[in-house]
Amino acid sequence: MHYKRPLVIGVMLVLLSATPCAAEQALTVTLEASANLGDLLAEALRSNPELLAARKGVEAAQARIVQARSLDDPELDIESWSIPLNQPGNFNKANTHMVNLRQRLPFPGKLRLRGEVATQERTMAAARYRAKEREVIAAVKKGYYDLFMADRELQISQEQLDLVERILKTTEVRYAVGKVTQQDVLKAQVEQSDLINRLIIAEQARQSAEAKLNTLLNRQTDSPIGRTTEREPPAMPFEQADLYRLALDSSPQLQEAASGITQAERSHELAIKNQKYPDFTVGLGYWYVPQANFQHTYTGMLTFTIPFFWTKPKHDKEVEEASTQIARAEASYRATKNLAFLEVRESTTKLNAAQKSVTLYRTGLLPQAELSLKAAEAAYQTGRLEFTGLLETERALRNVRLGYYRTLVTLEQSLADLERAVGRDIVQ
């Protein structure tokens, strides 16, 4: 049965003093078409602004790889020598005219290492993107099931309201013939008003969950989202040890930390090369000397840096820093691994407990509560049960149904957290 959505909060407040018929008429607005979780996830992956920012970060890191592997810009030097001071603009009086082209060349292997450092940065950016993607997926799933819970509260409260209104009619008939007291009628009316108030609270909870979900989808917060649908509770296809292995293989946080170690190692190799080996500058020049026997000449040039003497402490500290970064990256990986395993453990524990509770509700509590209400309603109509007992049975059924759905939501949300920790979908 689909629940009926209240028109506005103001109408609901009026219902507190309205007749049962008026209450039912005011709760007749049906939600729009069902909201499909798969469609919402696809929209979030397309439109979420945090994901867009992470994608741009990957693109920026990709662009830096070519920069790191490229040579510096060449230098073009144009000079004229010995121009007379009394004729500063007369270049024909110059002794020599020169055009020199120079290019700085790092020692062999340095450009490759710079490229590898940049490549690891790109890999880390891609892992951060995947981590953000899993985070958004988990947030959408958890938001969807918050909305699901609000929908079930609306549905159950509406169905219980219908039931109480039916009981109220029976109570009024029995009161008219003197079989019950007026107190029973008043209790039924109070229960009716309480359920109407629960509908108001559930509608507010739905609007809040809807706004949070719309934010993840990059929509206006008041955009309507259709009613959520039920599915069979998911079954866990993996054991605890399997989930740890999945986390090692798929967790984007662990992949980022592993790339951080590789990046630190390449930076260390580069620091050692900078410490030991020079860079070069090669050049080729054309000289025009009007007054010389050989007017047209050329020059070749080779210069190199000297990473010794007074610059040695600088390079030594660069190597020391790079060694420290390796140790830091390795410690960061271990910490990330421990946190991932902890999240897997906690989520699995919650998920397993919720699975057991869902099974208990479905096989025992729900059928028993429904049978108890039917028996109590029949006993009340024949005068074999007091109204208070009927009311308690009705409330017990409501609480059991709500408890079932809360447990189901805990199961689904724990699964979303587990998939985020592992870094991949577990249940299709």
Stretch 154-159: mean pLDDT: 88
Range of the domain at 70: 9-422
Residue 20 has pLDDT above 80, yes or no: no
Give the helix/strand (H/E) hosting 149: helix 110-176
pLDDT of the residue at 33? 59
Instruction: Tell whether 333 is covered by a domain.
Output: yes
> What pTM was estimated for this model as a whole?
0.82
Instruction: Tell whether 193 is covered by a domain.
Output: yes
Instruction: Tell whether 428 is covered by a domain.
Output: no
Confidence of residue 341 (pLDDT cuts 50, 70, 90): very high
The residue whose two tokens read 């592992």 is: 422
CATH number of 153's domain: 1.20.1600.10
Instruction: Tell whether 213 is covered by a domain.
Output: yes
State how many domains the chain has: 1
Taken in order 419, 424, 425, 426, is the CA torsion positive or negative?
negative
**150 or 230: which leads in pLDDT:** 150
Q: What percent of the chain has pLDDT above 90? A: 56
Instruction: Tell whether 256 is covered by a domain.
Output: yes
Give the integer Cα–Cα distance in Å for 377 and 194: 20
Taking each helix axis from N to C terminus, what angle separates 252-276 and 312-360, rounded to the nearest 10 degrees?
170
Q: Bin 383: left if φ > 0, else alpha if -120 < ψ < 50, else beta.
A: left
**28 or 314: which leads in pLDDT:** 314
Stretch 395-399: mean pLDDT: 88
pLDDT of the residue at 16? 36
Which span out of 12-16, 67-71, 291-295 was modeled with the highest average pLDDT?
67-71
